[in-house]
Amino acid sequence: MAITRRQFVQDTAAASAMLAAMGTSIRSSADEKAAKASANDTLIVGVMGVNGRGRGLARGFAARPDVAVAYICDVDQRAIDNTLKLLSEAGGKKAQGVKDFRRILDDESVDALVIAAPDHWHGPATIQACAAGKHVYVEKPACHNPREGELMVAAARKHKRVVQLGTQRRSWPKLIEAVEALRSGAIGRVYYARSWYSNQRGTIGRGKKGPVPSYLDFDLWQGPAPRRDFRDNIVHYNWHWFWHWGTGELGNNGVHGLDVCRWGLGVDYPLRVSSSGGRYHFRDDQETPDTHVVSFDFEGGKTISWEGLSCNRHGMGVVGPKGQLQDRGFGIIFHGDGGTLAISDQINGYLIYDKADKVAKTVGGAGGDADHLADFVACVRSGGRPRADIEEGVKSTLLCHLGNIAHRVGRSLKLDADTHQIAGDQQAAELWGREYEKGWEPSA
């Protein structure tokens, strides 16, 4: 008997919920059979924000035989046209270009919204999508501020939607293996994790006010953020370095490393957060630090640290099996009382060092987005929780927000062990949320 795609998703979601109630913590063989049975059922998605990362996600989803990209959405008509052309040349099905993502939400045939718009859009768009009955794949960081993260989790649970964060390392096979090795005691008791990111970014200069380009809907670009005048050094990338729209390098790239650090250490919320650094390299309009060092202390005697250098490529590194220094631009290392484990993007895997700091094991694998996209699609079909479920993603993103808040107020933060809120610092606590443009206030 023929069934619709929506009936199938609802039925499998109900089955998965029953298994969860029985305490099942892994996908069962029944879920796997359901996923195989749906191989000919096409998941319909719309992609919001395709001027950068979203273009790659649109291409990745379109390449899957079980997914159809029905909409390409951006406030810049050039980005829409370029992405539609890219998908057409790749042999994908014809998609429709729209500027307002709400057009996607209004289409009942769409199953999921893929969000790769600027940071200030992640929370509000996710919440609206869940309320409209759509599943969500949202790029990192999960949200623009901690309060949005709380609302995103609430919306996902209330509307029973699958919401996955774009922290793709959670799905890399050998990184999953690396975390399992940490859990099994491969380097003894793990107490410290550190991560870094370095780049050679140029100055953004001093922006000038002027007319909005004809191809850009700047009002819609600002969306939930209170209105500001157009300046020529904000769109399309430099918004990252303004608190009004972005979250700095910590939210932009630090979240990837901090997510794996938190995952590997098995910690959730910090007790204390310290920050040092500043805007040292260029004298321009950038508000966020170009040199940033943040530390997070957790209960049980565990610490995470992150170093970000936006204007100097000489970062830390991982010593390879032949003594070479690699992973200078990005890396993650775990320290235990029995050795060290380093995550390496260069081999999409990990290295284990013994107590004498000799390489004892090297494991390489596959990286990229494919496994992460596959996990999202499978969970939409089964109703299961994805590897980078929004609740986990919000916890990791919270570390970024706390590091930025500590930087902005110029002192360390203490968190209440029970509520996980900033304690005893009203000025810092006021940065937990933000003001919104009238009519755009998110609500779960």
pLDDT tens digits for 322-376? 899 999 999 999 999 999 999 999 999 999 999 999 999 999 999 999 999 999 9
pLDDT surpasses 70 at 20: no
How confident is residue 156, by pLDDT bands cut at 50, 70 and 90?
very high
Integer CA distances (angstroms), 394 to 76, 381, 402, 417, in order:
28, 23, 12, 17
| Arithmetic mean of pLDDT, 42-64 | 97
Domains of the chain: 5-167+371-389 (3.40.50.720), 171-202+229-367+398-432 (3.30.360.10)
- H or E element in which residue 276 lies: strand 272-278
Write the burial class of residue 180 (CB in 10 Å: 0-12 exposed, 13-18 middle, 19+ buried).
exposed
* Listed residue (258, 255, 252) closest to 194, CA to CA: 258
What pLDDT shows up at residue 24? 35
pLDDT tens digits for 88-121? 998 878 999 999 999 999 999 999 999 999 999 9
- CB of 364 closer than 8 Å to CB of 348: yes
pLDDT tens digits for 124-150? 999 999 999 999 999 999 999 999 999
Q: What is the mean pLDDT of the chain?
A: 92
* Listed residue (182, 136, 234, 132) closest to 342, CA to CA: 182
pLDDT surpasses 60 at 17: no
pLDDT surpasses 60 at 31: no
Greatest CA span in the chain, whole angstroms? 67
What pLDDT shows up at residue 90? 87
pTM: 0.90
pLDDT surpasses 60 at 30: no
What pLDDT shows up at residue 92? 76
* Listed residue (111, 117, 35) closest to 76, CA to CA: 117
Task: Tell me the angle at which helices 5-21 and 370-382 cross, rounded to the nearest 10 degrees.
Answer: 90
